[in-house]
Amino acid sequence: MRVLGIETSCDETGVALYDTRHGLLADALYSQVAMHADFGGVVPELASRDHTRKLLPLIDDVLGEAHCGRADLDAIAYTAGPGLVGALMVGASTAHGMARSLDIPVLGVHHMEGHLLAPMLEDDPVAFPFVALLVSGGHTQLVAVEGLGAYRLLGESVDDAAGEAFDKAAKMLELGYPGGPAIARLAEHGDPTRFRFPRPMTDRPGLDFSFSGLKTHTLTTIKALRDEGALDEQAHADIARAFEEAVVDTLVIKCRRALDDTGLKRLVVAGGVSANVRLRERLDHALTKRRAKAFYPRNRFCTDNGAMIAYAGAQRLMAGEHDDSAILAVPRWPLTDLRPPAV
């Protein structure tokens, strides 16, 4: 089965073609980061308009790279949520229109299920069951995964997601958008011993996260240094390092705890923050000591992309799932609402 995947949930337009026998045939991604950077974050109306401009040319590019025509498609999968409703509607309406014209099935896919399954596109795919850390600009969740659609929420952020916290800290440091990569670059030049920021909610039981207090501590530190006239270039780097270290340590502590609580030995880490080099290093070291293993998507599949949607959609389409005639766009959609395919 050849499945075209379409991702338009936020600020990346992603398209991919996945073959259930031969794997990923082609993928393409257009990022709107440069456009939104001027505003310090995503502007929903601009995002929707840009998806409209870019989606059909990207579909043609992917089909051309794979030497396929539209008539060679067996099904189409698209991101139905969660995300920005206008952006979701661009992908959903395009997918339904194409599927109807080709008389093939179409399926709306949960965006976070796509992220969760993205490591399965790699040469060494993870096997069920496992614990998943889904960590991005909109989500920070720990999930016990028994199989496709069999998800149990272990813990989540009670306020900001980790990626959102990175963006806000970067704004305080005047580093621009998106914040995660900018802070990681600056942190490379920071002194890890100058500041120690709090590791929120790690001194109590449970697997929930909170990053709002860390954000406040960062702002307080910046203001104090500014008042002292000591907020120089090195101070910016030292703060970035302390912030990154605090987020990474918090995520690693919670992941270790989740593996201990479930007794599982496999951890999937997915979402934009999963590309953070320091996070991967710390997790790999921590899990090796526990004789456990972490699985990650390749870097270009950490952020939103069409390949993960094509893959996730293919798994459910092969089980006979598909949309009816209604276009599906669900801005808020808990991952735990999903169910295993009926077989």
pLDDT tens sequence for the chain (343 residues) = 999 999 999 999 999 999 999 999 999 999 998 999 888 889 999 999 999 999 999 999 999 999 999 999 999 999 999 999 999 999 999 999 999 999 999 999 999 999 999 999 999 999 999 999 999 888 999 999 999 999 999 999 999 999 999 999 999 999 988 899 999 999 999 999 999 999 999 999 999 999 999 999 999 999 999 999 999 999 999 999 999 999 999 999 999 999 999 999 999 999 999 999 999 999 999 999 999 999 999 999 999 999 999 999 999 999 999 999 999 999 999 999 999 998 6
pLDDT at position 41 is 87
Q: What is the rounded CA–CA span in Å between residue 241 and residue 162?
A: 15
pLDDT at position 94 is 98
Residue positions in the annotated binding site?
111, 115, 134-138, 167, 180, 276, 304
Please state which architecture CATH assigns to domain 127-296: 2-Layer Sandwich (3.30)
pLDDT at position 40 is 84
Residue positions in the annotated binding site for substrate?
134-138, 167, 180, 276
Q: Which of 224, 197, 195 is nearest to 212 (CA)?
A: 197
Q: What residues does CATH 3.30.420.40 cover in the chain? A: 2-117+301-337, 127-296
Residue positions in the annotated binding site for Fe cation?
111, 115, 304
Contacts of residue 234, defined as CB under 8 A and 6 or more positions apart, other chains included, come to 189, 191
pLDDT at position 343 is 66
Contacts of residue 77, defined as CB under 8 A and 6 or more positions apart, other chains included, come to 3, 4, 5, 6, 95, 106, 107, 108, 109, 309, 310, 312, 313, 314, 317
How many CA atoms does the CB half-sphere of 212 hold within 13 Å?
5
For the domain 2-117+301-337, what is the CATH code?
A: 3.30.420.40
pLDDT at position 120 is 97
